Structure 1
Amino acid sequence: MAADKRRRRGTAGRRKIWIAAVAVFVVVDVALVGLALSEQGSDGGTASVAPVATTSSSPTATPTPLPDLEPLTSPAGYLSAIDASTAYRINAGDCAAGEAPNLEKSIDSGVSWVSNPVTTTLRSVTQFAATSDTYAYMVGLNDACEANFTATYTSGTGFGSYPDELLGVWYLNTADGTLHSPAGVQTAPCSDVVDVVGLDRLSAAVICSDRTFFHTSDGGGTWGTPSPLAGAMATSTGVGGYVVAQIGRDGCAGVQVSTLSAADLTPAVLGCYESTPDSLEGADIRVSGTQDSIWLQVADTVVVSTDGGATWA
């Protein structure tokens, strides 16, 4: 019997210890929960996990065509910048007119230009690029209105014809409307291509007369989802992808310059060059970008931005 009493006393003691332990656990747990809630509600509290990026719920303005804007036509000329102080430009010309286009070079951010008439049989230009201080090439039609490739290695003091080079560049043959890539003749994504801009042998973009922008990354075999560029007046390469000059855009009383990467064709606004809106539709507008600058020509005015389009000079 004495043994039974000892067992009952032992069991009762263990029960008291277990109840006390549970009580302590509950108190600690409540305290921890309260501490966690107070940290989340505090302005100075630090989140225990990294925040997850979210997409803003703010509505994004959808570009819409300007009701009084005429269809886009082929460029009147081309601009290709090397850096913040040096650029080339050339007028598009017309093979039927029989006049040689003029290549111009500026080394003072567009303040002055040195002109050199092209001395080959080239009579019109549909593709133009300057790749160094001394080298520039142009693709177009010769005096027989046949495709021709002309280049200068001497800043325009001398020119040569290199027909074999046509096989390695993007260009639009305005004589028959065919679109050429380094892989050969390609089917264009629209029937009214106005301009083609090549990034490399596989990547290029075309813009159509309705200002629809298409991009390819497989040499023109396929074209991605079109991107409408309301008010687009000129396109070129630069800023790691493409640059586009647009008019009639909200918040810009002049020419808006945007960039489009090859991966994401959604335009990202770089800046606005203020100009008289009424004079822009018929103006000769050209644009080009480099690693450190953006060049813009509006009629006879050439301006350069070295701060990503925030200011122009």
Structure 2
Amino acid sequence: MPSDLLEISDLIVDYDIATLQPRPVSRSAVVARLMANGQRSAARLVQRLPASNDTLDAEACNLALLRSHIELQRLSEEFLQADRLRCVLLPLLQALRDAGVKPPLRIVDVGCGLGYVVRSLAAHGRLGRDVEIIGCDMNVTLIENARRLAEEESLSCELKVANAFQLEQPGHVFISTGVLHHFRGDDLNMFFAGQRQGHAFVHYDIQHSVLSPWGSWMFHQARMREPLARHDGVVSARRVHSTQTLLSAARTETGFTCASLDGARNLLGAVLRPMTATVGTRAELWEPLLRHLGPLRARLGPAR
């Protein structure tokens, strides 16, 4: 089995990065790629997806992704992901205010999916009236459902079908949850390069550990029912980047001061803290951030 496994969700939909328009995807091409990568069970899952003249049915694929993201929301809820972000965003926003950054302070969630974190922060984050929360994703189906949920909850947040790095009003703080491992090599560098315009970022992903794939497998077997979610959830844990890889890419592409938060120092740490964050700010904001972090400062790794 290759070390760099593929996730089905990355293969069954495709978008033009400039226009955000969906592009047709060949089912046989996806199946062949998975087979060549030694992922036979994943290839069988894709082979069962409906297609017309070998082109995957976009609606069926989007519905499978929607069901998977509904189950992923459960993961975010159980891991208190919005609370984790809020604990970092509150001192970070205060550092921006102290530095005289003009409001509104825009937080942009990159690849927000169903917008769980955006909606939760809007409902319970208590981030301040000078803060705008924006969720961006290229999948229309996910954003339409995220908007519906936000409207039902009467939440003050924006959910856009958009490239998070090409907004008319650029973000001050970029955030994400479970997105980093989708980017490899040059794509990871481009992901961070898009954030040079901002002032800071906080990106959470699965803890890099030998235990992570086993924990992910047990959780997904117990809690997930959607085959795509079960497959990709376990593969995600095997694809996560090391702290060194993330900090190197982030520092090189943004020039920000960066550090990991809640990085596991041993196997027990990996069990107790299944998620870790890559945090970065412009150089002049780092010391103010440290002052406002309080006890959370002890959970930061060395700055780079």
TM-score normalised according to structure 2 size: 0.25
More strand by share: 1
Q: Which structure has the larger Rg?
A: 1
More helix by share: 2
